[in-house]
């Protein structure tokens, strides 16, 4: 189980892969995911591993998990010392940082060990993840009971923004690789609860 800032859980773990979502719902889910681990992670202290960049990534700001007026991300307490950090760039050139924090200390330690030995930039096939997203059926609805198709190829495609689509693909790919490795090491799925968020998804959720 995973608390995630976009709706990766709905997209990646449902079979068939069908979800009902609106941009507004997605933004609200993102805000909820960012805030979800604040209290339960506030007292935890551990070493953080930065992956994929070749350099250490320092924490941005302590805060509530929102985008400040200056554009700087104020991470919630859960993300102050996460287990995995991955830096990447969107098609537009905007820089993003993904943070993953596990509820279970032992799982977190295993995740840090996994991350230390994996180059996510090579391990994650972003194009394959985008293809998977585009193959996912999705619909949107309103309070009047009307619904419409938001799948790829429609005028209302949920991920029409290339940056949005790419950001979602990266998050799905990184978490997918990480969970595959956790499973391969025999980590109990019940101990794999995590909170996941990226700076770009937080900024997107706070736009407007």
Interacting residues of 62 by C-beta distance below 8 A, sequence separation 6+: 74, 75, 77, 80
- The reported pLDDT for the residue numbered 16 is 39
pLDDT given for residue 134 in this prediction = 95
Task: Using a cut of 0.75, tell me whether the model's pTM lies above it.
Answer: no
User: Regarding predicted confidence, which is higher, 16 or 93?
Assistant: 93
pLDDT at 1 over 90: no
Does the pLDDT value for residue 145 go beyond 70?
yes
pLDDT for 62 beyond 60: no
Domain regions of the chain by residue span: 2-205
| Distance (Å, whole) CA 80 – CA 64 | 11
Return the pLDDT at 204: 82
Find the mean pLDDT for residues 1-9: 50
pLDDT of residue 49: 41
| C-alpha pair distances (Å), 149 with each of 10, 110, 144, 146 | 17, 40, 16, 11
DSSP for 66-123? Answer: EE-TTS-EEB-GGGSS-SEEEEEE-TTS-EEEEEEEESSHHHHHHHHHHHHT--HHHH
Average pLDDT estimate for 124-153:
93
């Amino acid at each position: 189980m995973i608390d995630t800032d976009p709706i990766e859980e709905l997209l990646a773990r449902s079979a068939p892969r069908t979800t009902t979502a609106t941009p507004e719902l997605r933004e609200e889910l993102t805000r909820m995911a960012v805030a979800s681990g604040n209290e339960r992670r506030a007292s935890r202290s551990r070493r953080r591993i930065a992956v994929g960049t070749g350099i250490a990534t320092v924490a941005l700001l302590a805060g509530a998990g929102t985008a400040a007026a200056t554009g700087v991300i104020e991470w919630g307490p859960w993300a102050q010392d996460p287990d995995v950090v991955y830096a990447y760039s969107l098609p537009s050139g905007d820089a993003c940082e993904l943070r993953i924090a596990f509820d279970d200390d032992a799982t977190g330690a295993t995740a840090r060990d996994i991350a230390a030995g994996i180059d996510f930039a090579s391990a994650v096939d972003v194009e394959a993840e985008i293809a998977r997203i585009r193959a996912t059926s999705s619909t949107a609805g309103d309070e009047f009971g009307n619904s419409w198709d938001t799948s790829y190829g429609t005028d209302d495609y949920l991920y029409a923004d290339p940056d949005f689509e790419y950001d979602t693909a990266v998050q799905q790919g990184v978490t997918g690789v990480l969970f595959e490795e956790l499973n391969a090491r025999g980590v109990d799925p019940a101990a794999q609860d995590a909170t996941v968020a990226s700076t770009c998804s937080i900024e997107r959720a706070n736009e407007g």
